[in-house]
Structure 1
């Protein structure tokens, strides 16, 4: 991430922009014959307001403080859980997604969690393969906690399992001295 970008907590006045980011980030799924994912609605203002109000939403901004990416996090199985991370494609490949994951990891550490989890598409290049490069590993189905299992079951109910999906985790790094 270069110095023209910074991470800050998301604010209520960011919500419209977060929806725009989500729509823009979804477009790439069309090229993979995943139009249903590309057409999925972004989180509602009510949902985003809950994350923002609870301090579980971050944005990465450009030099004008305009969000170009965001991340929302949950608590699942005594772990920090990345519920959604999206970066506007016009700002892709700048390390912004990794920086947002770093913000979630910092939050998780502050919450006393030792693990950060997420669920994602196994074969989408900017999903599981990307997260593996960031130190996440696939969690075998037999090792899923009750909460993460419920997340996966809900995703299946939504039809997301039309494409291979996995749960992933990585340890939360100790704070730097």
Structure 2
């Protein structure tokens, strides 16, 4: 197992974020339960650069190589996790869990009240992973319009609504 480090994302990480996300997204294409379900496109390096510029994204490195990231941005008093990805060659080593917990620490220290996300509802490395890390399914979207918008974008791409879930981890 190689040692890894977590740091605040830098503008020059955007291209690596795109490569890591593309690599990790291949798992979705291989998931039998998603056969016939459109997989959302990965974010471009330009999109990642915009998210990184908001100052809340984290990078995981092995040596100087970016192997994972947590791309997040503020949504009022919540921090929304757009993407958590780890390159397949570096998965199952605690990098994703460490990125997530580092994001929680940063969010708490910055007085955010929660972290939100949307993900696939029935994949163990999606909803199950986040549930193991203290996230719960959002039932009432009244105070979370960004989650409704995220779910609506997935449906517009052709993903059945029942295949997606919004989740929240309260930090109080």
Query: Does the 8 A contact of 1:87 with 1:96 survive in 2?
Result: yes
Query: Does the 8 A contact of 1:77 with 1:146 survive in 2?
Result: no
- The equivalent residue for 1:170 is 169
1:60, 1:165 → 2: CA distance? 26
Query: Does the 8 A contact of 1:21 with 1:86 survive in 2?
Result: yes
2:163, 2:140 → 1: CA distance? 13
Query: Does the 8 A contact of 2:151 with 2:161 survive in 1?
Result: no
2:142, 2:93 → 1: CA distance? 33
- The equivalent residue for 1:119 is 118
- The equivalent residue for 1:71 is 70
Q: CA deviation at 1:31?
A: 2.3
Question: SS state of the match for residue 70, structure 2?
Answer: strand
- The equivalent residue for 2:58 is 58
- TM-score relative to the length of structure 2: 0.86
Q: What does residue range 127-146 of structure 1 map to in structure 2 within 5 Å?
A: 127-141=126-140, 145-146=144-145
Q: What does residue range 1-177 of structure 1 map to in structure 2 within 5 Å?
A: 4-33=3-32, 34=34, 36-37=38-39, 40-62=40-62, 64-141=63-140, 145-161=144-160, 164-172=163-171
- TM-score relative to the length of structure 1: 0.84
- Number of aligned residue pairs: give it: 169
Range with bigger deviation, 124-133 or 15-24: 15-24
Q: CA deviation at 1:3?
A: 7.5
